[in-house]
Amino acid sequence: MATDHADRRRLDVREVEGEPFGRIVSELGELDGDECLLLVNSFEPVPLYDVLDERGYDHETTQVADDEWHVEIRPR
């Protein structure tokens, strides 16, 4: 896991083999204090939004290219 700066972790799930959900949940569980997770994906992960809401996370999604989406996830 690379850290972009002191308060953001980055997970590019385009590099994860197989289903990335378990890796996402694991990374979220490792967030400390005011850290957030920047999730990079090749599509908008709409099904993930309800899961994040249920688990107490807010998210902000930005499409940065035709095949690249960034989702910044923070604990509430």
pLDDT digit string, tens, across residues 55-71 = 999 999 999 999 999 99
pLDDT digit string, tens, across residues 8-18 = 999 999 999 99
Q: What local confidence, expressed as pLDDT, does residue 1 receive?
A: 43
CA distance 31 to 59: 14
CATH number of the domain enclosing 66: 3.30.110.40
**Does the model's pTM come out above 0.85?**
yes
Which residue range is the domain that position 12 belongs to?
Answer: 2-75
The secondary structure of 16-28 as a DSSP string is S-S--HHHHHHHH
pLDDT digit string, tens, across residues 35-58 = 999 999 999 999 999 999 999 999
Number of domains in the chain: 1
Q: What local confidence, expressed as pLDDT, does residue 2 receive?
A: 44
Residue 43 is given by DSSP the state S
